[in-house]
Amino acid sequence: MVVGAIWAQTPDGVIGVDGGLPWHLSEDLKFFARITIGHPVVMGRRTWDSFPERVRPLPGRQNIVITSRPESVPADGERVWAVGSYAEAVDVALGVLATEPAAGPETAPREIWVLGGPSVWRDAAAHAALPLTRVLVTTVDLDVPGDTHAPGLDAAWSRTEVQDWTVAGNGTRFRIDEWTRTPVR
């Protein structure tokens, strides 16, 4: 079982402003979909709210939203769940994975993807039974102001460059890096 996190940020760690992304990068959105479709995704309510209504719930994924206000999320127990903690989110995700057929070959890893925000990522990294061990970060080469920042990855994480700097169709440079760590047991 792999628990991964995925986000896009500037070199300074900006991931959002006013509840949304401060850029549009279709290549990153396609990468995000390719990685997460077919897997449970865990997010906080603000991250849920940041997605346009037309894509909520995220299609092809089981959406698990951590919130202190469950009435604010249209939970249906099939595509959307509202839970009170990261531990509850993991329990729901494991239950979904136990009942859903594998999305790919039987040898493909079963994955849970943590979408954010920062406190959800921190809870995932600290979870005792099933901690975060993989992070995919798209770095968007922009200098933009923001009010939400990515969590820092400490020395326990090792970076493997997945893709060198590339120029998107809109002229924006970006790269995608994979970070891994061995969980402490």
- Give the length of the chain: 185
pLDDT at 108: 57
Compute how many other C-beta atoms are within 10 angstroms of the C-beta atom of residue 80: 18
Average pLDDT over residues 133-144: 96
Give the Cα separation of 66 and 44 in Å (integer): 5
Q: Tell me which residue has tokens 């169709």.
A: 169
Average model confidence (pLDDT) for the chain? 91
Confidence of residue 160 (pLDDT cuts 50, 70, 90): confident
Give percent of the chain above pLDDT 90.
77
Average pLDDT over residues 146-159: 91
Structural contact between residues 31 and 54, judged by C-beta atoms closer than 8 angstroms: no
pLDDT at 102: 61
Give the pLDDT confidence of 49-90 residue by residue, as tens digits.
Answer: 999 999 999 999 999 999 999 999 999 999 999 999 999 999
Average pLDDT over residues 1-26: 94
* Residue type, position 71, single letter: E
Structural contact between residues 110 and 1, judged by C-beta atoms closer than 8 angstroms: yes
Give the Cα separation of 41 and 57 in Å (integer): 10
Confidence of residue 17 (pLDDT cuts 50, 70, 90): very high
Confidence of residue 161 (pLDDT cuts 50, 70, 90): confident
| Ranges assigned E (strand) in 10-167 | 14-16, 40-44, 62-66, 80-83, 111-116, 134-140, 148-149, 158-161, 166-167
Token pair belonging to 141: 């080469």
Question: How far is residue 7 CA from its own chain's centroid?
Answer: 6
Q: Which domains does the chain have, with CATH numbers?
A: 2-180 (3.40.430.10)
Asked whether the predicted pLDDT for residue 106 surpasses 70, the reply is no
DSSP label at 24? -
Q: Is pTM, for the whole model, over 0.95?
A: no
Confidence of residue 1 (pLDDT cuts 50, 70, 90): confident
Structural contact between residues 67 and 73, judged by C-beta atoms closer than 8 angstroms: yes
